[in-house]
Amino acid sequence: MTILVTGGAGFIGSNFVLDWLADASTRDERVVNLDALTYAGNLRNLASLQGDARHVFVKGDIGDRALVDRLLAEHQPRAVLHFAAESHVDRSILGPGAFIKTNVEGTFTLLEAARAYWSALEGDAKAAFRFHHVSTDEVYGSLAPDAPAFTETHPYEPNSPYSASKAASDHLVRAWHHTYGMPVLTTNCSNNYGPYHFPEKLIPLMIVNALAGKPLPIYGDGLQVRDWLYVGDHCSAIRTVLAKGRVGETYNIGGWNEKPNREIVHTVCALLDELRPSAEGPYTRLITHVKDRPGHDRRYAIDARKIERELGWRPAETFETGIRKTVRWYLEHADWVADVQSGGYRDWVAANYSAR
């Protein structure tokens, strides 16, 4: 048995691959991992799998139809799990073209390759095949402070080039199911955090900057609200949907942890004060409010009752347990942090924050 994972060297993808090959129920199932190794893809995330025959890594682009066709024909996977995406809002504002190319055109190419492969299958293999598309709650737009959380039927109202490109990919997946009968599953998750998170996103950026004595930039007033989902919980939810989800359905995955960004930063500072105190004083001294992101969505909130009701999944971590695990991981993996902070990453940080 084999699965094909796209983007399996990125943050969520690599956590999923590690989880899949560690779990007793799937540890004998091989993973073919296709990743282009852009700035956010890091083979060090998968160092523990070096030499493991169950993990087949292929460097390549999901937009390379010939490559995807060859991998499907050679490895005969029972499922495609599609994590590969450009995923950072700020980067999408500065350079939206890459997001259209990967998230829209890449998903289209992958769907067409998977459709051709699935169409040629027969019997039980064809009935069992799944295409699982991993998406985001950002496709739903922004919520008012007192509005109900996003359900799976909430209208799509993307507000950034990133979320618009993910919304387009969601629509493609839906259309390929309704038009061609493709056996698809879609999951829309809230903000993930945890190990191997590239330090451009809020939580790892705060940890890395604080330890380096650098400013902790908070956009605007810092009261933008997000629902926070520990990445290990996200992996278990995807596993559950793949195993038991109804074909053609969408499932929202959330952590039931709505918190404003400002509170997140203060929580990280408090944990660092406890676990790695600074001689210069509390880490909150480094907090700096900067000019807000253009079109910054004010609030996201996930209603994850459908996946709990239909499939019996609920997150195992509270925010308090998950954030403590995350901070500890970064403290214990300074070598990983140093490795990902390349010149290219430093140049991007300078470009994004220098004018704020």
Is the CB of residue 117 less than 8 Å from the CB of residue 72? Answer: yes
Q: Is the pLDDT of residue 99 over 90?
A: yes
Q: Which pLDDT score, from 0 to 100, does residue 338 have?
A: 87
Average of per-residue pLDDT across 121-138? 98
Q: Which pLDDT score, from 0 to 100, does residue 38 have?
A: 86
Is the CB of residue 341 less than 8 Å from the CB of residue 208? Answer: yes
Mean of pLDDT over the chain: 94
Q: Which pLDDT score, from 0 to 100, does residue 200 have?
A: 80
Instruction: Indicate which residue of 61, 86, 90, 162 is catalytic.
Output: 162
Instruction: Indicate which residue of 61, 138, 170, 200 is catalytic.
Output: 138
Q: Is the pLDDT of residue 114 over 80?
A: yes
Active site residue 263: no
What is the percent of the chain with per-residue pLDDT over 90, rounded to a whole number? 87
pTM of the predicted structure, to 2 decimals = 0.94
Q: Is the pLDDT of residue 343 over 70?
A: no
Is the CB of residue 193 less than 8 Å from the CB of residue 323? Answer: yes
Sequence-distant (6+) residues with CB within 8 A of 334 are none
Tens digits of residue pLDDT in 263-322? 999 999 999 999 999 999 999 999 999 998 888 889 999 999 999 999 999 999 999 999
User: Locate tokens 């901070």: which residue?
Assistant: 327
131: its two tokens: 């295409």
Active site residue 227: no
Indicate left, alpha or beta for 194 from its phi (over 0: left) and psi (-120 to 50: alpha): left
Tens digits of residue pLDDT in 161-171? 999 999 999 99
Q: Which pLDDT score, from 0 to 100, does residue 341 have?
A: 78
Q: Which domains does the chain have, with CATH numbers?
A: 2-193+230-254+301-316 (3.40.50.720)
Q: Which pLDDT score, from 0 to 100, does residue 88 have?
A: 80
Helix pair angle (261-275, 319-332), 10° resolution? 50
Task: Please tell me the distance from the alpha carbon of residue 195 to that of residue 267, in angstroms, as a whole number.
Answer: 17
Q: Which pLDDT score, from 0 to 100, does residue 312 have?
A: 98
Residue in 20, 106, 279, 147 with CA at minimum distance from that of residue 97: 106
Q: Is the pLDDT of residue 212 over 80?
A: yes
Q: Is the pLDDT of residue 355 over 70?
A: no
279: its two tokens: 């001689």
State the CB neighbour count (10 A cutoff) for residue 189.
25
Average of per-residue pLDDT across 127-134? 98
- pLDDT level of residue 339 (50, 70, 90 thresholds): confident
Sequence-distant (6+) residues with CB within 8 A of 15 are 45, 194, 195, 196, 231, 232, 234, 235
Sign of the alpha-carbon torsion through 63, 95, 259, 273: positive
Instruction: Indicate which residue of 35, 86, 137, 317 is catalytic.
Output: 137
Residue of higher predicted confidence among 8 and 37: 8
